[in-house]
Amino acid sequence: MVETGFRSIITDGLWNNNQALVALLGLCPLLAVTNTAINGLGLGLATTAVLVSSNATVSLIRNFVRPEVRLPVFVMVIASFVTAIELGMNAYFHELHKILGIFIPLIVTNCAIIGRAEAFASKNNLQRSLVDGISIGIGFTLVLVTLGGMRELIGQGTLFDQAHLMFGEVARGMTLKIEDFPGMLIAILPPGAFIGLGLLIMVKNLIDKRVVTKATTQTETSEGAAGVTT
Amino acid sequence: MDKRLPVFIAAAILGIFAIAGTSLVAFTHTATKARIAANERETLLRSLYALVPSESVDNDMVLDTLQVKDPEQLGAPVTTVYRGRMQGDPVATVLTTMVTDGYSGPIKLLVAVRYDGTLGGVRVISHKETPGLGDKVEEARSDWIYSFTGKSLGNPSIEKWRVKRDGGVFDQFTGATVTPRSIVTAVKKTLIYVQANKDALYDKQASSDGVTAKG
């Protein structure tokens, strides 16, 4: 019983209720910073850290905070964590912090975070809220990295450019570059973010649809229709 | 009394969380303050030493600064000047020139002028130019910004301080002329300013501990 509960929290966060692809929350930072995979990863991890801390705190205080002041308290908790994490990033990932700049404080306005605090953490215990925070965060990060990687690859012909900002000098070798590829500028420009996100949502819906049809054909025809599924 | 009590409890809870949140931020601030300041100093020092080699100066360029006001020539209302000295003798100044007529928004530059009037180099610190077109002025994207190094007001002559399209010696980019043009003009104006104020810029004021701390 408990196990299936956790499993559904995880699949919801990563796939079924992915905040970026299904709930379409947090689009402002999502669209703005995903011009490279590393930028996406940086913002994704910062968002995950905020989500996990705020979910845990909200879950711990859920029986103690009166409903009238619930939302202001949540906002205060989130804003404090965001500021603390921003200071931490400035101290330990200074170069990356310079690039992500304004978008770290803007995590406060990411509706996905207050959304999870209100919809999930305020009604569930600590373990479940932690698992929810982690899976929602990873789901969001994966979309950011995928979209960033796509735009970077098409736009400037590199992948994991500036990885050293995040992982130190050893990671310089991580950067892949397609030689003699000038890049399609549109992918880096803002429209590229919208087009890229649209394509990602399309791919997700196609996969979901295929899974559903697969399931129905399997139950309808018990045997003999194996050729259809393969 | 009965009806008011919940309101007071709610307010107290809100207050407790305000204190807790502020404490967390204050604590993190104290814990990271020194490190952030060191990071900023190191970043600035690295960009200064890229233009004025660290072995050519022996003072602390980050602290040996001067604030000048000449928006006409230098763009920003207040411009910071970093001075480099060797045993008290002037070596070079680095000015934070601002380009106000770029393609989109201000472009912040670091312009290093050696004491003999030649350019130690120019770097773009921040800009909002179009990715893929105007952003070739960044060091990471093309070598264009290096074309200033070693130039001075006589080399090329003043009327050649333009992009090639306008009859000068500096390259423009395909599809982006405004950005290089505005930077060339800003660098030229900075050189004119430095030439006119040469000795005042190396004034010893605000440089009490000039000859300490090697980088």
Q: In whole angstroms, what is the distance from residue B96 CA to residue A138 CA?
A: 41
Q: In whole angstroms, what is the distance from residue A19 CA to residue A40 CA?
A: 15
Q: How many CA atoms lie within 13 A of A134 on its CB side?
A: 8
Picking from B25, B32, B131, the nearest residue to A90 by CB comes out as: B32
Q: Answer whether A91 sits within 8 Å of B25, measured CB to CB.
A: no
pLDDT of chain A along its 230 residues, tens only?
344 588 888 888 888 888 888 888 888 878 888 888 888 998 899 999 999 999 999 999 888 888 888 888 999 999 999 999 999 988 988 888 887 877 788 888 888 888 888 888 988 899 999 999 999 999 999 999 999 999 989 988 888 887 777 777 777 777 778 777 777 878 888 899 999 999 999 999 999 899 888 888 777 655 544 444 44
DSSP label of B77: S
Q: In whole angstroms, what is the distance from residue A208 CA to residue A197 CA?
A: 17
Cα A97 → chain centroid: 18
Chain A partners of B32 at a C-beta cutoff of 8 Å? 87-88, 90-91
Q: Enumerate residue ranges in chain B where pLDDT < 50.
A: 207-215
What element of type H or E holds B113?
Answer: strand B107-114
Q: In whole angstroms, what is the distance from residue B32 CA to residue B44 CA?
A: 18
Omega prior to A29 cis, within 30 of 0: no
Q: Answer whether A76 sits within 8 Å of B132, measured CB to CB.
A: no
Ordered by start, the domain boundaries in chain B are: 54-201
Burial of B127 (0-12, 13-18, 19+ CB in 10 A): buried
Q: Alpha carbon of B161 to those of B118, B169, B182, B187: distances in Å?
A: 14, 7, 11, 9
Nearest Cα neighbor of A43 from A156, A176, A142 is: A142
Q: Answer whether B36 sits within 8 Å of A188, measured CB to CB.
A: no
pLDDT of A1 reads 39
Question: How far away is chain B from the Cα of A185, in angstroms, using its nearest Cα?
Answer: 6
Q: In whole angstroms, what is the distance from residue B112 CA to residue B82 CA?
A: 9
pLDDT of B3 reads 65
Chain B partners of A77 at a C-beta cutoff of 8 Å? 17, 21
Ordered by start, the domain boundaries in chain A are: 2-152+183-214
pLDDT of A221 reads 59
Residue environment code for A52-66, b if the CB has 16+ CB neighbours within 10 A, otherwise e:
bbbbbbbbebbeebe
Nearest Cα neighbor of B93 from B125, B72, B68, B71 is: B68
Question: How far away is chain A from the Cα of B194, in angstroms, using its nearest Cα?
Answer: 30
- ipTM exceeding cut-off 0.90 for this assembly: no
pLDDT of B209 reads 39
Please enumerate in sequence order all residues whose Cβ is within 8 A of that of A164, keeping only pairs 6 or more positions apart, or say none. Answer: A170, A171, A172
